[in-house]
C-alpha cells in the first residue's frame, strides 16, 4: 500500500563507509525499508525507504529480537503521525553477529483486512444468534418441511413437520395480510400472533423469502422468526399502552407544531387537558432558586386555589384540595427539576388512577426536555441580541426593535424620540488608563442610560463608545429636557477622567419622530446620528436637536 506521509523528521544515515562496502550498497538498493542495527540495538544505517521512521522501526525490531532470532520473522506495529502501521520484519545476523540486518515489508492493508474479516465473522455470528428464535421452510402447499431448533413455542420440531403454520396461529383467517409462510414476495419484519403449547399468545416477527426453482416456479418459503412477546405489552396492558402512546404522540405533535416558547407550552396544555380528561391545567417553569412561575395554562383554577398555590403542590403527595381531584408531576432535565405540571378535574369526576399517573409521568419527561430546549433558545436569542460588555441591546437587535416601535407609533399616531449618544474624550482613557478602565467606564454609561430609560424605552450600545436611547411617547420638549438632564447626570463620569482639561462626557443628538411623516427607523437613526456629530464638532458636551424629517439641519440647544 502507499506509504502515508510522515511528519517525523528523516533519520539521516550515519557516515557512509568506503564506497566499496558491499553491505551498505546492498542496503541502499533495497526497494523496501531496510535497517542495520548494532549489537546494542542502535541504528547503524537505513536506506531511503526507511527514512522518516527508521528509529521507531529499529526500536520495535530490538523489542522483538528474541522472537525474530527464534523464528526469523515477526509482525510488528508502530505508530506514525497518529496512525498504526504494520510490518512483517525479518532479521539476520551479519559480520559475525556484530550487526543485524532488519528487512521490513509493510502489511498494514493486509492486517486491517484480516481484522475486519474476523470482526465481520464475529458480528455475523452474533447477528444470526440474536436475529431469530427459530428457522423454518415450507413447501409449495405451505406445510412445514424444516424447523430448527428442536423445540419451537413448546412444540417438538418433528411434530410440526407436515403441518400448516395456520394450525398454530391465532385466528389466521382474520389476520389481514398473508402470513409470511405463504408469501410470494420477500417479507421483512411482519408480526403475527401464535399460540404456544400452553395456549398462551406469543407475538412473532418474521423475515421470509420465497424459494423459486430454475423455471421461476415458487416451490416454498424459507425464513426466520423471533419471539418478541416480552418486548410488546400484552393482554389488557397492550391496549392501554397503545392508547397512552397515541395520546403522548398527539401531545408531542402539538408541541412540535408550535414555534414560539409561549405557543409551545399553550399547545401542550391544550393537548394534555382532553387527553387526561382534565378540567384544567397549569404548566410552570422553575427559577434558579427552585420557585415556580406560571408559564401557560388552560381552564380556571379550582375554587379556593390560584396559580401561586397550585405551583406549591408537592407532586409526591398528590393532594386533593376542596374535594377537587388534583395531580401534579415535576418536569426534569438531566435530573434537575425545571418545571411542573398540575392538572385538576371537576368535583364529581373520578379520581386519577395508575394509568393516568403513568401517562402524566411520560408527559412530564417530555415537558422537561421541551422546557430545556426553550431555555436554551431564549439564552441564544438573548446572547445574539445583547452586547456582552454592557448587557444592553446590540446594534442589530436595537435596529430591529426600533422598527417595531416606530411602526406602532405611526399606527397609533404617537410621537417618540431617538437620542444618539457619543462619549467625549473616551479614547484617552483606553490609551492612558488601559482597556479595563475603559470597559468600566462603558458599563457606567450603560447604567446611566438605563436609569434614564423607562420600561417602554429602548437602550442600546451601537458599537465602540456610541449608544442610543429610544424615548417612547416623547415630544420635542420632553425629549430635549431628558437629554439635557442626561448631560447633567453625566458629571458622575468624571471619576474616570485621566486629564481634567479633557473630561469624560456625552454629546447627544436628538431626532423627534413625527407619526405623520412616514419616516423609517433607519432614517430616524441617521438624523439623530448626524445631529450628534454636529454637536461634537461644535464643542462637545451638548444636546443638538435634529431638524424635522425632510428639513435642513436644525439648531443646537
What DSSP line would sit under 359-384, residue for residue? HHHHHHHHHHHHHHHHHHHHHHHHHH
Query: Taking 90 as the threshold, does the pLDDT of residue 45 lie above it?
Result: no
CA distances for 240 relative to 210, 237, 457, angstroms:
37, 5, 55
Give me the phi and psi of 458, to 5 degrees please: -125, 140
Domain annotation covers residue 501: yes
Residues paired with residue 512 on neighbouring β-strands, in sequence order? 417
Tell me the mean pLDDT in the region 85-110: 81
- We report the CATH number of the domain holding residue 468 as 3.30.70.270
Say which range, 112-116, 258-262, 280-284, has the weakest mean pLDDT: 258-262
Same domain, 421 and 535: yes
- We report the CATH number of the domain holding residue 252 as 3.30.450.40
Residues paired with residue 314 on neighbouring β-strands, in sequence order? none
- The model's confidence at residue 9, banded by pLDDT at 50, 70 and 90, is very low
Q: Among candidates 377, 397, 378, which has minimal Cα distance to 386?
A: 397
Same domain, 378 and 402: no
Which residue among 347, 382, 417 closes a domain? 382
Query: Taking 60 as the threshold, does the pLDDT of residue 134 lie above it?
Result: yes
Query: Taking 70 as the threshold, does the pLDDT of residue 65 lie above it?
Result: no
Counting residues of the chain whose pLDDT is more than 90, the rounded percentage is 33
Query: Taking 60 as the threshold, does the pLDDT of residue 322 lie above it?
Result: no
Length of the chain equals 557
**Per-residue H/E/C for 268-286:** HHHHHHHHCCCCEEEEEEE
Higher-confidence residue: 333 or 76?
A: 333
- The model's confidence at residue 477, banded by pLDDT at 50, 70 and 90, is very high
DSSP element (H, E) containing 68: helix 65-71
Domain annotation covers residue 239: no
**pLDDT tens column, 231-254:** 775 555 555 555 566 666 767 776
Higher-confidence residue: 98 or 131?
A: 98
Same domain, 471 and 350: no
Which residue among 382, 416, 431 closes a domain? 382
Q: Among candidates 296, 265, 289, which has minimal Cα distance to 377?
A: 265
Which residues lie below 8 Å from residue 187, measured CB to CB, with a gap of 6+? 180, 206, 207, 208, 209, 223
How many angstroms separate the CA atoms of 89 and 312, rounded? Answer: 74
Domain annotation covers residue 80: yes
Q: Looking at the 3D structure of the chain, how many domains does it have?
A: 4
**pLDDT tens column, 501-541:** 899 999 999 999 999 999 999 999 999 999 999 988 888 88
What is the pLDDT, as a whole number, of residue 439?
94
Q: Among candidates 206, 158, 130, which has minimal Cα distance to 148?
A: 158
Q: With b meaning 16 or more CB within 10 Å and e meaning fewer, what string describes 403-438?
A: eebbeebbeeeebbbbbbbbbbbbeebbeeeeeeeb
What is the pLDDT, as a whole number, of residue 2?
44
Which residues lie below 8 Å from residue 215, measured CB to CB, with a gap of 6+? none
Contact (Cβ atoms closer than 8 angstroms) between residue 467 and residue 445: yes
Question: Per DSSP, which regions of 262-364 are E strands?
Answer: 280-286, 292-298, 320-321, 324-333, 336-344
Strands 416-424 and 34-38 turn out to be unpaired
Side-chain-side CA neighbours of residue 15 (13 Å) = 1
Same domain, 296 and 355: yes
3 state DSSP class of 83: strand
Domain annotation covers residue 341: yes
How many angstroms separate the CA atoms of 51 and 29, rounded? Answer: 14
Give the best-scoring range by mean pLDDT among 40-54, 144-158, 224-238: 144-158
Q: Peptide bond preceding 63: is omega within 30 degrees of 0, i.e. cis?
A: no
Cβ-in-10-Å burial (0-12, 13-18, 19+) of 457 comes to: buried
Residues paired with residue 293 on neighbouring β-strands, in sequence order? 285
Q: Which grid cell sits at 128?
A: 444470526
Query: Taking 50 as the threshold, does the pLDDT of residue 1 lie above it?
Result: no
Same domain, 225 and 260: no
Long-range contact set of residues 197-203: C-beta below 8 Å, sequence gap at least 24 = 197/153, 197/154, 197/155, 198/154, 201/170, 201/229, 201/234, 202/153, 202/227, 202/229, 203/227, 203/228, 203/229, 203/232, 203/234
What is the pLDDT, as a whole number, of residue 243?
59
Say which range, 41-50, 282-291, 328-337, 410-419, has the weakest mean pLDDT: 41-50
DSSP conformation class of 235: H
How many angstroms separate the CA atoms of 380 and 383, rounded? Answer: 5
* Sign (positive or negative) of CA dihedral 383, 384, 389, 393: negative
How many angstroms separate the CA atoms of 435 and 84, rounded? Answer: 50
**pLDDT tens column, 191-207:** 888 888 888 888 888 88
Domain annotation covers residue 3: no
- The model's confidence at residue 434, banded by pLDDT at 50, 70 and 90, is very high
Domain annotation covers residue 417: yes
Same domain, 142 and 250: no
pTM of the model: 0.45
Same domain, 149 and 219: yes
Same domain, 159 and 26: no
CA distances for 527 relative to 319, 396, 420, 453, 547, angstroms:
62, 18, 9, 21, 8
Counting residues of the chain whose pLDDT is more than 70, the rounded percentage is 83
Same domain, 105 and 188: no
Same domain, 260 and 182: no
Residue carrying the nine cell digits 525507504: 49
Say which range, 98-107, 226-235, 473-482, has the weakest mean pLDDT: 226-235
Which residue among 78, 110, 142 closes a domain? 110
Estimate the share of the chain in helix, then strand, then coil, as percent rounded to the nearest 5: 40, 30, 30
**What domain range includes position 196?**
132-232
Same domain, 253 and 375: yes
Rg (CA), the chain: 41
Contact (Cβ atoms closer than 8 angstroms) between residue 424 and residue 505: yes
Same domain, 349 and 377: yes
Domain annotation covers residue 550: no
**pLDDT tens column, 10-37:** 444 444 444 336 777 888 888 888 888 8
What is the pLDDT, as a whole number, of residue 281?
92
DSSP conformation class of 543: E
How many angstroms separate the CA atoms of 448 and 486, rounded? Answer: 8
Tell me the mean pLDDT in the region 54-59: 79
**Summary mean pLDDT of the chain:** 82
- We report the CATH number of the domain holding residue 148 as 3.30.450.20
Higher-confidence residue: 480 or 324?
A: 480
What is the pLDDT, as a whole number, of residue 235?
53
Residue carrying the nine cell digits 544505517: 45
Say which range, 228-232, 408-412, 452-456, has the weakest mean pLDDT: 228-232
What is the pLDDT, as a whole number, of residue 520?
94
Q: Among candidates 356, 380, 379, 375, which has minimal Cα distance to 265?
A: 375
What is the pLDDT, as a whole number, of residue 20?
36
Amino acid at each position: 500500500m502507499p506509504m502515508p506521509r510522515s511528519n517525523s523528521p528523516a533519520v539521516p544515515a550515519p557516515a557512509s563507509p568506503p564506497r566499496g562496502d558491499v553491505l551498505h550498497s546492498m542496503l541502499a538498493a533495497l526497494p523496501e525499508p531496510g535497517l542495520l542495527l548494532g549489537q546494542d540495538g542502535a541504528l547503524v544505517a537505513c536506506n531511503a525507504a526507511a527514512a522518516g521512521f527508521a528509529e521507531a522501526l529499529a526500536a520495535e525490531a530490538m523489542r522483538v529480537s528474541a522472537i525474530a532470532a527464534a523464528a526469523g520473522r515477526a509482525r510488528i506495529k508502530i505508530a506514525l503521525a497518529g496512525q498504526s502501521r504494520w510490518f512483517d520484519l525479518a532479521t539476520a545476523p551479519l559480520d559475525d553477529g556484530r550487526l543485524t540486518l532488519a528487512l521490513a515489508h509493510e502489511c498494514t492493508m493486509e492486517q486491517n483486512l484480516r481484522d475486519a474479516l474476523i470482526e465481520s465473522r464475529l458480528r455475523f455470528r452474533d447477528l444470526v444468534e440474536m436475529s431469530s428464535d427459530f428457522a423454518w421452510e415450507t413447501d409449495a402447499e405451505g406445510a412445514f418441511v424444516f424447523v430448527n431448533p428442536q423445540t419451537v413455542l413448546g412444540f417438538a420440531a418433528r411434530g410440526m413437520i407436515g403441518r400448516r403454520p395456520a394450525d398454530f396461529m391465532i385466528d389466521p383467517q382474520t389476520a389481514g395480510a398473508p402470513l409470511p409462510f405463504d408469501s410470494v414476495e420477500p417479507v421483512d419484519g411482519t408480526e403475527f400472533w401464535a399460540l404456544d403449547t400452553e395456549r398462551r399468545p406469543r407475538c412473532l416477527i418474521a423475515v421470509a423469502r420465497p424459494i423459486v426453482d430454475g423455471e421461476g416456479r415458487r416451490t416454498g418459503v424459507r425464513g426466520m422468526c423471533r419471539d418478541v412477546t416480552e418486548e410488546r405489552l400484552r393482554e389488557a396492558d397492550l391496549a392501554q399502552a397503545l392508547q397512552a402512546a397515541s395520546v403522548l404522540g398527539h401531545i408531542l405533535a402539538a408541541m412540535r407544531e408550535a414555534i414560539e416558547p409561549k405557543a409551545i407550552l399553550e399547545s401542550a396544555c391544550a393537548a394534555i387537558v382532553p387527553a387526561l380528561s382534565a378540567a384544567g391545567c397549569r404548566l410552570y417553569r422553575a427559577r434558579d432558586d427552585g420557585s415556580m412561575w406560571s408559564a401557560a395554562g388552560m381552564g380556571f383554577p379550582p375554587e379556593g386555589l390560584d396559580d401561586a398555590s397550585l405551583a406549591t403542590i408537592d407532586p409526591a403527595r398528590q393532594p386533593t384540595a376542596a374535594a377537587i381531584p388534583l395531580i401534579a408531576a415535576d418536569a426534569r432535565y438531566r435530573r434537575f427539576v425545571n418545571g411542573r405540571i398540575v392538572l385538576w378535574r371537576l368535583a364529581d369526576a373520578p379520581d386519577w388512577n395508575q394509568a393516568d399517573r403513568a401517562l402524566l409521568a411520560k408527559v412530564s419527561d417530555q415537558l422537561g426536555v421541551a422546557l430545556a430546549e426553550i431555555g436554551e433558545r431564549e439564552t441564544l436569542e438573548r446572547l445574539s441580541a445583547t452586547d456582552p460588555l454592557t448587557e444592553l441591546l446590540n446594534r442589530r437587535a436595537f435596529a430591529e426593535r426600533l422598527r417595531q416601535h416606530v411602526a406602532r407609533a405611526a399606527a397609533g399616531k404617537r410621537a417618540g424620540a431617538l437620542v444618539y449618544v457619543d462619549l467625549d474624550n473616551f479614547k484617552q482613557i483606553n490609551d492612558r488608563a488601559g482597556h479595563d478602565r475603559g470597559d468600566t467606564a462603558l458599563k457606567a454609561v450603560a447604567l446611566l442610560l438605563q436609569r434614564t430609560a423607562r420600561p417602554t424605552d429602548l437602550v442600546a450600545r451601537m458599537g465602540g463608545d456610541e449608544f442610543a436611547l429610544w424615548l417612547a411617547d416623547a415630544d420635542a420638549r420632553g425629549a430635549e429636557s431628558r437629554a439635557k438632564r442626561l448631560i447633567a447626570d453625566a458629571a458622575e463620569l468624571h471619576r474616570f477622567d485621566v486629564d481634567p482639561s479633557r473630561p469624560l462626557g456625552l454629546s447627544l443628538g436628538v431626532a423627534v419622530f413625527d407619526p405623520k411623516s412616514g419616516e423609517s427607523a433607519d432614517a430616524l437613526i441617521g438624523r439623530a446620528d448626524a445631529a450628534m456629530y454636529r454637536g461634537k464638532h461644535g464643542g462637545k458636551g451638548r444636546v443638538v436637536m435634529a431638524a424635522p424629517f425632510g428639513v435642513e439641519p436644525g439648531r443646537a440647544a
